[in-house]
Amino acid sequence: MSAAGDTNAITPPEIRLRKGQTPLVCLTAYTTPIAKLVDRHCDIVLVGDSVGMVLHGLSSTLGVTLDMMIMHGKAVRRGLERALLVVDLPFGSYEEGPEQAFRNAARLMAEAGCAAVKLEGGESMAATIRFLTARGVPVMAHVGLTPQAVNTFGGYCVQGLGDDAERIRRDAGAVTEAGAFSVVLEKVPEPLAKAITAQIAIPTIGIGASPACDGQILVVDDILGMFTDFRPKFVKRYAELGSEAEAAIGTYAADVRDRRFPAAEHVYAAASRPGDFA
């Protein structure tokens, strides 16, 4: 069985109950090996549509397809035992209306085995969130900077400044009323994120938001320092794997060119027997 519901994983209602408790730890994952590493540390693992930019070299998330999300969702499902798996509905897979959103959310849940989906938008998505949650699809909402609307915003800019704060407050209130079990608040001023967290009844998951949020989420490749050329203010790097990997690859290349690799321990002696697999 690949569909969720047959595991001991954390559930959306359990996440909902974590409002105001110990902060929820959330990270993205796109592959089985990374899912295995993050599982025991995270409450929620998100297969974000950021996969398009992080793993596929796309310049935005707009080119990410439902099939890509299903493929990465399946890979992450294989690596998780404990964390709640949430998969993003990609651009174009839910905006036409509740029926389209349900059809594609059902595919994500049945084929990728996630227990919840995430979609971007506030007031404009309230009817869709209500439709999905009434039909067995737990929804994590996403307001503030919604990257699928990058062309409407004119870039990945901070949202909710000045009078615009009211729009983000209304969005957060609307997704709560509609039945979302949590909401991502992305790239909004800290005092606004704090105020929304105090105002709504569901957990807020901050990214470029506030330590007062009920949880935090980041892209796992960002905290591992996989990119040397991408350093947004809201990311804290806990490792520099990108430069370490580059150095390791350089050493391998030099070893091959200088015939230091393979060494005696990496080759098979004439005395090897059939059935020597290692």
Return the number of the residue (28 or 128) whose C-beta is nearest ligand KIV.
Answer: 28
Distance in Å, CB of 103 to ligand KIV, minimum: 21
Question: Which segment (41-49, 107-115, 251-259, 265-273) binds ligand KIV by CB under 6 A?
Answer: 41-49
Taking the alpha carbons of 18, 20, 23, 24 in that order, is the dihedral positive or negative? positive
Q: With binding defined as CB under 6 A, does residue 48 bind ligand KIV?
A: yes
Q: With binding defined as CB under 6 A, does residue 50 bind ligand KIV?
A: yes
State in Å, rounded, how far the first CA of the chain is from the last one: 32
Distance in Å, CB of 260 to ligand KIV, minimum: 40
- Helices (H), ranges, the chain: 12-16, 32-39, 51-54, 66-77, 98-107, 126-133, 150-153, 165-178, 190-199, 220-223, 241-257
Distance in Å, CB of 265 to ligand KIV, minimum: 41
Is 265 a catalytic site residue? Answer: no
CB-based contact 219:54 (threshold 8 Å)? yes
What would the x/- binding string for ligand KIV be over residues 154 to 193, using CB under 6 A?
------------------------------x---------
Nearest to 215 by CA among 95, 64, 45: 45
Question: Which tokens hold the place of 201?
Answer: 């009844």
Identify residues 121-150 at the interface with ligand KIV (CB under 6 A): 142
Distance in Å, CB of 256 to ligand KIV, minimum: 36
Return the amino acid letter for 155.
Answer: G
- Set 14, 81, 186, 246: catalytic member: 186
Nearest to 93 by CA among 76, 106, 81, 84: 106
Question: Which tokens hold the place of 65?
Answer: 């397809």
Q: With binding defined as CB under 6 A, does residue 108 bind ligand KIV?
A: no
Distance in Å, CB of 90 to ligand KIV, minimum: 9
| Residue 100, SS3 per DSSP | helix
What would the x/- binding string for ligand KIV be over residues 69 to 98, using CB under 6 A?
-------------------x----------
Residue with tokens 């707009």: 62
Catalytic positions, written as ranges: 186
Give contact residues for ligand KIV (rule: CB under 6 A).
28, 46, 48-50, 88, 142, 184, 207, 217, 219
